Chain A
Amino acid sequence: MGVFRIEEADRPHMWRLLIMWVILSAIGIVAVLQISYPPYDQSIQGQDQAGTLRLLTVIATPVFVAVVIIIAYSAIYFRRKTTELVDGPPMLGNTPVQIAWVTISATVVLFLAIVGITTLASESVAQAVGAPGRSIGTGGQTGGGGTGEENKEISVQVIAQQWYFTYRYPDYGGVETTHLYLPVNHPIELHVTSLDIIHSFWAYELGVKADANPGVDNIFHVTPQKTGSFRVRCSELCGLWHGSMTDSEGQVVNQADFNTWIAQQQQDFAGIAKAVPSYAPYYFPLPLTKGS
């Protein structure tokens, strides 16, 4: 191990790099703080994800700036000026530098670990993935719908199939719909399943992405906090029309509009209700292979 020492001739380079790094990092941090990060803030869970992404970007910015300016500076000032091939001065290690980078790296990693643990322990994430949902009903006997109880979770079943998502609302008589409507500021319990092969339900602006597997009831919780539309798409390669398995007509609406909409859906659904099986956690259509 050598002794940490900067040659007199190198000190101007060090100061230039340091000053450039501080200035560009400050500019970079201010710039990245201006960015609106996906999946934005339409749900509490999405807002948490956007906040984490913003934090990671802010931390990564000085590192990124340091790497880029060192490469650029070295390419400009330390490039070989003669055609002869000569080795550079030997570098035999530098204890202070090694201690510094290990300490800084460890500090950043530990800080992110603390942030991660704190986030996982937060109420919104616990509500999203950890809290046990109430049991869902079967046989079309679930809920009366429209009880108006505040903060009572509404169950919504997401049914993936090649190549579209449909939705069932067990709290409203098991009505099935072609679009996903959710009331604002109301906790939602999503039950994601599939009728055929593996899909993935991704409600982008809500910050929800959940596997949709046949025979599996995959539960996810979300609380929309802003009205407006959101996009739904499949994020698991699922065949010929996977790229078209999208819907841009998902809506977060106020409670009154939701009540009006679900009432209309129930009315429309009445014509086919008898033919649709009772609500169940999942459906497993048979036969596996269609006949000849």
Chain B
Amino acid sequence: MLRRVSFVAAGVVIVVIALVAFVGLFMLPRPGPLEGTTTLHLETVAAVGSALEWPRPNDPHPDWVGYLPTTTWHVPANSTIQVQIDQEDGASGLRNPFWGKVFGTEGGNMHVTFFDDKGTPQESDMTSIDPTQAAHTFAIPDLGVFVPLLAVNPNAPANSTNVITFSFKTKGPGRYRWQCFVPCGAKTIFGNGGPMQTIGYMGGTLIVT
């Protein structure tokens, strides 16, 4: 009898732990979406817990890479969206170097302020980058938008940020997934685990209304 009660009690404890873990990991409120705007100001960081602009120190995975302040964006349909990404991460490199090229932006390029090998600030319009120097990408495949994000040069001053600006046009209303094509999930198989497989870090939804 005592043995049976012990098994039941252990089962209840396991279920409760699983429920708490599920709620804690997946159902706690995330940052809200950026609402109906034609500008997106984003930040890409090596660790969401120690971002320069929108840190999330209480995130369940503060050491994961991520887009900040949120990964759900509301934008109007058939509009030109201005994007500014403050890119703070170092290079991971692209698995497919093809994504080093800019696709789908107005003018087919992006404007980048960055630091050269001497740590001197530079800026330039670019249509592609060295794929090995990609930190992340901003990609909305169904809109044909693929933008590689240049990594911060290791010779840049501490806490430096590359600023990447570009614009793209939305189509009709709908939900469009966006994702990063750099396998930037550190310590995971092929770099595609962890933040690459969890909404709220390196992928999300562009809601066009």
Binding site for B on A (CB under 8 A): 159, 161-164, 166, 176, 178, 195-197, 239-241, 244, 247, 268-269, 271-272, 275-277, 285, 288-292
Contact = CB atoms under 8 A, between A and B. Distances in A.
A275 B96 contact: no
B40 interface: no
B128 A275 contact: yes
Interface string B21-61: 00000000000000000000000000000000000000000
Contacts of B183: 196, 290
7 contacts: A195-B95, A272-B97, A272-B98, A275-B100, A276-B97, A290-B186, A292-B186
A289 B97 contact: no
A276 B132 CA distance: 11
Chain B interface size, under 10 / 10 to 19 / 20 to 34 / 35 or more: 35 or more
Contact of B190 (A178, A272, A288): A288
B130 interface: yes
A176 B94 CA distance: 15
Nearest to B192: A162
Interface stretch (B8-16, B157-165, B195-203): B195-203
Contacts of B189: 288-289
B98 A239 contact: no
A174 to B, nearest CB: 11
B192 A289 contact: no
Contacts of B181: 161, 164
Contacts of B187: 289-292
A288 B142 CA distance: 29
B112 interface: no
Contact of A275 (B95, B130, B198): B130
B113 to A, nearest CB: 21
A292 to B, nearest CB: 5
Contacts of A244: 141-142, 177
A197 B190 contact: yes
B195 to A, nearest CB: 10
Given A163-B179, A240-B196, A271 B128 contact: yes
A195 B183 CA distance: 11
A166 B128 contact: no
Nearest to A163: B179
Nearest to A244: B177
Contacts of A166: 96, 98
A291 B181 CA distance: 16
Nearest to B202: A240
A161 B127 CA distance: 22
Contact of A240 (B95, B139, B197): B197
Contacts of B191: 289-290
A161 B181 CA distance: 9
A161 B95 contact: yes
B176 to A, nearest CB: 9
A290 B98 contact: no
Contacts of A164: 139, 141, 181
Chain B CB within 10 Å — which of A178, A196, A290 has the most? A290
A206 to B, nearest CB: 20
Contacts of A195: 95-96
B168 to A, nearest CB: 14
A290 B197 contact: no
A276 B191 CA distance: 20
Given A288-B190, A290-B183, A291-B186, A240 B98 contact: no
A159 B98 CA distance: 11
A285 B190 CA distance: 8
A151 B192 CA distance: 41
B190 A240 contact: no
Given A178-B144, A240-B203, A275-B97, 4 more contacts: A161-B96, A178-B141, A197-B190, A272-B101
Contacts of B197: 239-240
Contacts of B203: 240-241
B179 A241 contact: yes
Given A178-B103, A178-B144, A241-B203, A196 B97 contact: no
B70 interface: no
B69 interface: no
Contact of B198 (A197, A240, A269): A240
B80 interface: no
A178 B146 contact: yes
B196 to A, nearest CB: 7
A269 B99 CA distance: 11
Contacts of B128: 271-272, 275
